Chain A
Amino acid sequence: MSVLVYTESEQGKFKKTAFEVASYAKAVADQLGTTVTAITINANDTSELGNYGVDKVLNVSNTQLDMFNAKGYAEAIQQAAEQEASKIIILSSSANSKYLAPLLAVRLNAGYASNVINAPSSTSPFTVKRTAFTNKAFEMTTINTDVKIVGVSNNSFGLVEKSGDASAEDFSPVISDLGVKVESIDKASNKVSIADAEIVVSGGRGLKGPENWGMVEELASVLGAATACSKPVSDLGWRPHGEHVGQTGKPVAANLYIAIGISGAIQHLAGINASKVKVVINSDADAPFFKAADYGVVGDAFTVVPELIEKLKAFKAQQ
């Protein structure tokens, strides 16, 4: 009965979250005194998984699953779980994993806890800590079913490297009618996505207009960060909806969140609370965001940000 972990890849290459969920699965397996089996779908090279505690890899190579399909991927993971008699299945909190997990839960009649941030505090009963109320609180949840599904929040557990080799074998699940067909994908291939980002640079109405976003993008580029924005900015159409961070937008659980010209409404703060370090740059010293920030600069973004970019470039050059 190994712990099964679904390690996501994109165009054959593992995402960073794949190694994070593998690390998490290893921690759970250690608690239970068992091993970790990973299932990969159309991944090229699975050898790296051994370095994050995976003992065995089930490789699925299936052209039906070249494009992500929640139903098809759930079927594949279900069959892997049944073959391995896995009672615990670990996934990430990516948009795709959150899409397929409820379908998998129904297939396996499994309780599912999403947005989990810690290794289980107890395995009997199986109890995990997850974020709730859009990061305004934590919830201790017990999963009561025989089979359990855990969705690990990005950047919450971190990577735990261990030297090891994972054995690999081919796995050929039977995939039925997919039901939903991908017609096209519109994705900037050279941009860091908010979900994957360790650093997020975000702008608010204080930036006065979309024409001023160049410096936000440049700062993000220097830091290898994703760009984001506050709700009013996306409502005004200055930036796409997909960049809106907050209670009704995307949650951010980055290691570093830099907010420029954002006052810090409660709904915005809820969306970024899970970030570890928050920096606020705002000309208004009374902006509520300063109360939630770790570091702050009271100053004009139009002078502070360009200067910060130059100083960071110099700093990076020295590293």
Chain B
Amino acid sequence: MKILVCISHVPDTTSKINFTEGDTKFDTNGVQFVINPNDEFGLTRAMWFKEKQGAHVTVVNVGGAETEPTLRKALAIGADGAIRVNTAATDGFSVAKQLANVVKNGGYDLVIAGRESIDYNGGMVPGMIAGLIDANFVNNCISLEIDGDTAKAIREIDGGKETLSTSLPLVIGGQKGLVQESDLRIPNMRGIMMARQKPLTILEPVDANNETTSVKFEKPAPKGAVKLVSPDNLDELINLLHNEAKVI
């Protein structure tokens, strides 16, 4: 089985978010970049398939040279090879077109992408890849078993979960639950050394217009001070929620 894991290069979850150039660009100054957490669950599941069932795992990212440390980390975790599509990721649809091109040319049976990246939260790339290559698609995937060409998946729905059956080729939008958090891997020294020897292929992008353009960013208005209510006066809290905030 050939698996492609899409890796988004995102600011660490604890990052302070700031903007530059008149609030038009994300300020990367002092920000540490990591594998998108939703993709990390997918990468770990791919490693499980590789180790338990036999699979060849390639990781892919659309981005400039600055994203290569993130791909090298994925190689150190155990991916067999990496591809970087050499263009800035500025729009979900155009990223999906680049990734779909990689899938078409690589003959992958299973494509694992995170349900969304934690920076732009567009939530569109996995579904668009599936649409572009006409593959089956399961979003919000929290469990995946493959047997030959058939797949059984569980996805999270609003207020519960749903068990699905489908077949390869398949694209999933994965998330927390796909593997246990405790099973996520930190690269060890041997993995880091081996990653240096693994192939990292740079592909030039295909033509793909930006269907959306990020014009400007804003940060939420500063919050006023909290109104503290004494635990001995909870009637006051109910009064505030009813008469001031008007939410109950």
Contact = CB atoms under 8 A, between A and B. Distances in A.
A182 B162 contact: yes
Nearest to A295: B227
A294 interface: yes
Nearest to B126: A102
B121 A188 contact: no
Given A143-B212, A248-B176, A311-B238, A99 B220 contact: no
A239 interface: no
A140 B24 CA distance: 9
Nearest to B239: A315
A85 interface: no
Contacts of A134: 118, 121
B229 A295 contact: yes
A169 B15 CA distance: 51
A218 interface: no
Contacts of B136: 179-180
B59 to A, nearest CB: 19
Given A107-B131, A134-B118, A187 B217 contact: no
Interface in A65-113: 70-71, 74, 94-96, 98-103, 105-107, 110-113
Contact of A101 (B14, B127, B215, B235): B127
Nearest to A250: B156
Contact of B137 (A103, A192, A273): A103
B181 interface: yes
Nearest to A142: B213
A127 interface: yes
B118 A94 contact: no
Interface in A175-206: 179-188, 191-196, 198-199
B131 A179 contact: no
Interface string A254-272: 0110000000001100100
Given A95-B157, A193-B159, A114 B121 contact: yes
Contacts of A179: 136-137, 166-167
Most chain A Cβ neighbours within 10 Å, of B219, B224, B248: B248
A196 B127 contact: no
B107 to A, nearest CB: 19
Interface string B200-242: 0000000001111111111110011011111100110110111
Contacts of B187: none
B163 A182 contact: yes
A242 B13 contact: no
Contact of B181 (A127, A145, A194, A235): A235
Given A70-B127, A101-B127, A298-B228, A180 B137 contact: yes
B138 interface: yes
A256 B176 contact: no
Contacts of A46: none
A1 interface: no
B120 interface: yes
Contacts of B240: 295
B92 A112 contact: yes
Contacts of A103: 127-128, 130-131, 137
A276 B156 CA distance: 25
Contact of A98 (B139, B211, B242): B139
Contact of B212 (A141, A244, A280, A307): A141
A105 B37 CA distance: 25
Contacts of B176: 241, 244, 248-249
A304 B211 CA distance: 51
Contacts of A298: 228, 231
A282 B224 CA distance: 19
A187 B247 CA distance: 27
Nearest to B120: A132
Contacts of A312: 238, 248
A299 interface: yes
Interface of B: 11, 13-14, 17, 19, 37-38, 91-93, 96, 118-128, 130-132, 136-140, 142, 152, 156-167, 173, 175-177, 181, 209-220, 223-224, 226-231, 234-235, 237-238, 240-242, 245, 247-248
8 contacts: A101-B127, A114-B124, A179-B136, A179-B137, A188-B160, A242-B156, A276-B245, A292-B223
Given A94-B158, A141-B212, A183-B164, 15 more contacts: A103-B137, A105-B124, A110-B211, A115-B123, A133-B119, A138-B220, A179-B136, A179-B137, A180-B164, A187-B160, A192-B159, A196-B158, A248-B13, A248-B118, A315-B242
